[in-house]
């Protein structure tokens, strides 16, 4: 059974490569890790009254396209 799964995965990856795609591994923060939420809050509080942060957020809000999100 394990061989069949490995063969299917191999065939699928070969098909994706033939279609011009390549695999990419992305490492992201582990949101389940102890202390993650506290660190997010700590960093957010550091930026709360930062003028540059407010300028960037205003720019993003003025230029974002939310059409079709509803």
Among candidates 36, 18, 17, which has minimal Cα distance to 28?
36
Cα–Cα separations (whole angstroms), residue 17 to 9, 26, 35? 12, 18, 39
Overall number of domains in the chain: 1
What domain range is 36 assigned to?
A: 29-64
Q: What is the pLDDT of residue 12?
A: 95
Residue 14 lies in a domain: no
Condensed to tens digits (0 to 9), the pLDDT of residues 4-21 reads: 999 999 999 999 999 999
Residue 6 lies in a domain: no
Residue 8 lies in a domain: no
Residue 52 lies in a domain: yes
Residue 69 lies in a domain: no
Residue 51 lies in a domain: yes
Listed as ranges, residues in the chain with pLDDT below 50 are: none
Residue 43 lies in a domain: yes
């Amino acid at each position: 059974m394990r061989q069949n799964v490995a063969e299917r995965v191999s065939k699928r990856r070969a098909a994706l490569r033939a279609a011009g795609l390549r695999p990419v591994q992305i490492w992201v923060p582990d949101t389940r890790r102890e202390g993650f939420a506290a660190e997010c809050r700590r960093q957010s509080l550091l930026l709360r009254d930062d003028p540059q942060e407010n300028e960037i957020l205003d720019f993003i809000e003025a230029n974002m396209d939310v059409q079709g999100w509803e």
